[in-house]
Amino acid sequence: GGGRTSELFVGILDIFGFECFVKNSFEQLCINYANERLQQQFNWDIFKAEQVEYESEGIEWAYIEFTDNAKCLALIDAKPLGVLHVLNEESSLQAGTDEKFLEKVKGQHASNSYFEVPRRLLDGFVVRHYAGDVEYSVGGFREKNKDALHPDLVGLMQGSEAALVRALFASKAGSAEAAGASPNRGGKG
């Protein structure tokens, strides 16, 4: 009668965007950070959550060894001293520089096993990601972290036919007009 069939499957996470070039900068750090997060989610879904469920149901199982990358993620994003938070702080300072950012990160994470500053690497640091060690050169980190849109894109958005889009990209001086407000609305004219 109503026998159940089960499908067997193998879950494989293809971390497609992990980057390690001869010279790695802020963009590679962001991409590799995203991939660290994906790897952690994969680990949770495939290993940790299943093991917790097996234990709660009293199912006999053998522990599966896997690399937990939580400490690497903490190096990158822990508040208030993770690499990205230190970068945000340094980027907000008028007198901030990439060199001061590097010195702060070195001072903060010198003893972290996922962080290294090789003597030959004068302008950067190494993060020991789950997929391998990556050397990051900090030149341009602060500027790239500011998220400034290209002026041509801002101009295009300010010229949009959609009032909401114009309002989102309005300059401070002309924000009412860009949002579609008429100077005559509610008054004489």
Rounded Cα gap, residues 84 and 128, in angstroms: 16
Low-confidence residues of the chain, pLDDT below 50?
A: 174-189
What local confidence, expressed as pLDDT, does residue 167 receive?
Answer: 93
**Whole-model pTM above 0.75?**
no
Q: Give the integer Cα–Cα distance in Å for 42 and 14.
A: 10
DSSP string, 135-187: EEE-TTHHHHHT-PPPHHHHHHHHT-SSHHHHHHT--STTHHHHTT--TTTTS
The predicted pLDDT at position 14 comes to 57
Specify the pLDDT at position 71.
97
Distance CA 130, CA 44 (A): 15
Closest-CA residue to 114 (of 148, 77, 61): 77
Which of 68, 79, 72, 88 minimizes the C-alpha distance to 26? 88
- Interval 143-188: pLDDT, tens: 999 877 888 999 999 999 999 999 999 986 544 444 444 444 344 4
